[in-house]
Chains A and B, each alone.
Chain A
Amino acid sequence: MAKRIDATNVTAYYGAFKAIENINITVEPKTVTALIGPSGCGKSTFLRSINRMHEVLPAARVEGSLTIDGQDIYDRDVDVTAVRRMIGMVFQRPNPFPTMSIYENVVAGLRLNGVRKKSLLDEAAEKALRSANLWDEVKDRLGKPGAGLSGGQQQRLCIARTIAVEPQVVLMDEPCSALDPISTLAIEDLMFQLKDKFTIIIVTHNMQQAARVSDRTAFFSIEKTGDPGRLIEYDNTQRIFSNPSQKKTEDYITGRFG
């Protein structure tokens, strides 16, 4: 199921502004990789370029090569919707579709991609909601609007929505930054379970979180405002947090900078 991601010399622009430069990273299947670094260093930009969400913004473009199991996702012949189905994404703020019920939200990805059969949808909805640890809380009110759930439940609903289309990779862009500690814990637990099936890449500002959930950690940084973000260090999480090879990483992790 899970796939390996190789980024080679990835550079991303917003118009004339270069947001990240020459990022080289290999993400192994069935691992959790955390991207950390100060604000504006391009973590989210890099994350969004992995499933081609970066180009949704006007004048944004990506150079370099990004492959998933050897397939270049920026190839001219690649269908962008297929890429996004393979590489799902959870956003910083929960964004359930306001006109849809909980059930419809979960199966939105399948239904909007042409799955009609009720039994298939029901099955997928229950499976995804169980995987997202939300089933017990919502099984009696699947017809109620998704926007009526609490923030943490909404975020788990969005995770369920993402994994319902059975992606190989799940990208998470600060998924817990709008949540309270209990909901955060629920989502971190969830990441441990999802790791069995998916490759997970998570952007986080919370270093304890990175240390808790990830196997590998990539530290991004910028020289000064206006410069492109660069990958400073990429290593096993334990090593990054105990004995980083770069001075900058150590400064950031010990709180001396950023």
Chain B
Amino acid sequence: MTTTLTSHRSRPPAQPPTLRARRLPKWLPPAIALGALLVAAAIVYGAGIGGPVLVVVVGALLYLAGLFAAAHAVEGRRSARNRTWSALIHSAFVLAVLPLASVVWTLFSKGLGRFDANFFLTSMNNIGARDPEGGAYHAIIGTLIQVGIAALITIPIGILCAIYIVEYGRGRFAFAIRFFVDVMTGIPSIVSGLFVLAFWVLVVSPYFSSTGRPGFSGFAAALALSVLMLPTVVRSTEEMLRLVPAPLREGAYALGVPKWKTILRVVLPTALPGIVTGVMLSIARAAGETAPVLLVAGGGAAINFNPFENNQSSLALFVYQQAGDASRYAPARAWTAALTLVALVLVLTIAAKLLARRNRLGR
């Protein structure tokens, strides 16, 4: 180490005589891009090997090469590398956004066709294969009720569990809880559905139903969704609580504030925005689940406001069923329901974030 250090010191890097360096003119990179696209188009269409997508891909590669060459000639090696890597990073960003933009575009272009009052105000009851009407009112109701109940179950349990792990848990028991929460994170949704089917629908629900027989219900779906949501809520809340600096807790303790009140009034408010994000992620995941709802709520065409009795549908299940339906009007319903689902989750997320921000002080 010492020898390299001294040898460095004995030969200081040559100082450039001036801070100014030659730069590529501003118009050159766009010009190179245009030229690369034209050349690519000429190659691709000339050889007849592909369409516009290939033109863009080949053009991008040509652009990278051209940019590197031009920058190398004018600005030198370091600049050329810098420009090439910047271009690569920007392309990576575009590649990452492309699928998202494509999904949004597809949803809107195909979903807006049935985005009408009839869709939101009617169910699929008595809608035959030849009827162009029919809507997702029952499915929207189902999603809201099921996800709502699941959230009511999960949020308190999840947050309390995370508080236990972070603030109170010591030793093996806390470790075991953390471990099992981790295991739960990996449960496939179909397994959670099967569990609720075997446990709730077949064994417990007969005691509650008016007929005394086992039956599907929206509540069972909510239970299955809770199993899926719980680990996400616990883990994200746990991470957020751990981020709250220890001096804040000590500051409150030093004022003679009891521990539970410190957690409630100092720690939780500080971590709230992050907790809300985690909860919304879990809600978004639950709202998109199809398999458990199909298994334990059964789906259905009619409106059912009662989560405790009879079949209930949900938006995700509605999409699944309509997408597989033979009617030529069904695909349009499926797309609109998918658009509705995304919009619903988006609106909920924005609302929750605004609510969480209102609690924080304006900076």
Residues of A at the B interface (CB closer than 8 Å) are 51, 53, 56, 58, 81-86, 88-89, 91, 93, 95-101, 108-109, 112-113, 144-145, 148, 158, 161-162, 165
Contacts and interface: CB of A to CB of B under 8 A. Distances in A.
A112 B262 CA distance: 8
Given A145-B363, A148-B363, A97 B248 contact: yes
Nearest to A158: B251
B254 interface: yes
A51 B254 contact: yes
B250 A91 contact: yes
Contact of A56 (B170, B253, B261): B253
A83 B252 CA distance: 13
A95 B255 contact: no
A100 B267 CA distance: 12
Contacts of A165: 255-256
Given A91-B247, A112-B252, 6 more contacts: A89-B254, A108-B252, A108-B257, A158-B251, A162-B254, A165-B255
B256 A81 contact: yes
B224 to A, nearest CB: 36
A69 to B, nearest CB: 17
Contacts of A97: 248, 251-252, 266, 270
A86 B360 CA distance: 31
B360 A81 contact: no
B171 to A, nearest CB: 10
A86 B262 CA distance: 18
Given A97-B248, A99-B270, A145-B363, A53 B257 contact: no
B86 interface: no
A84 B256 contact: yes
A108 B264 CA distance: 13
B265 interface: yes
Interface in B267-312: 269-270, 272
Interface of B: 170, 245, 247-258, 261-262, 265-266, 269-270, 272, 359-363
A26 to B, nearest CB: 23
Nearest to A91: B247
Contacts, number: 80
What are the nearest 8 A-B pairs in CB distance?
A85-B256, A109-B255, A89-B254, A84-B256, A95-B247, A99-B269, A145-B361, A95-B251
Nearest to B244: A98
Contact of B257 (A86, A96, A100, A109): A109
B126 to A, nearest CB: 54
A149 to B, nearest CB: 13
25 contacts: A58-B170, A81-B257, A82-B256, A84-B253, A84-B254, A88-B254, A91-B251, A93-B247, A95-B245, A97-B252, A99-B269, A99-B272, A101-B361, A108-B252, A108-B257, A108-B265, A108-B266, A112-B257, A112-B262, A113-B255, A144-B361, A145-B363, A148-B363, A161-B255, A165-B256
B253 A53 contact: yes
A148 B363 CA distance: 8
Contacts of B254: 51, 53, 84, 88-89, 91, 162
Contacts of A85: 255-256
B256 A99 contact: no
Contact of A95 (B170, B250, B272, B363): B250
A23 to B, nearest CB: 20
Nearest to B361: A145
A43 to B, nearest CB: 17
B177 to A, nearest CB: 17
A205 B272 CA distance: 37
A95 B98 CA distance: 44
A99 B361 contact: yes
A89 B257 CA distance: 13
A98 B261 CA distance: 16
A112 B259 CA distance: 11
A95 B361 contact: no
Nearest to B273: A99
Contacts of B361: 99-101, 144-145
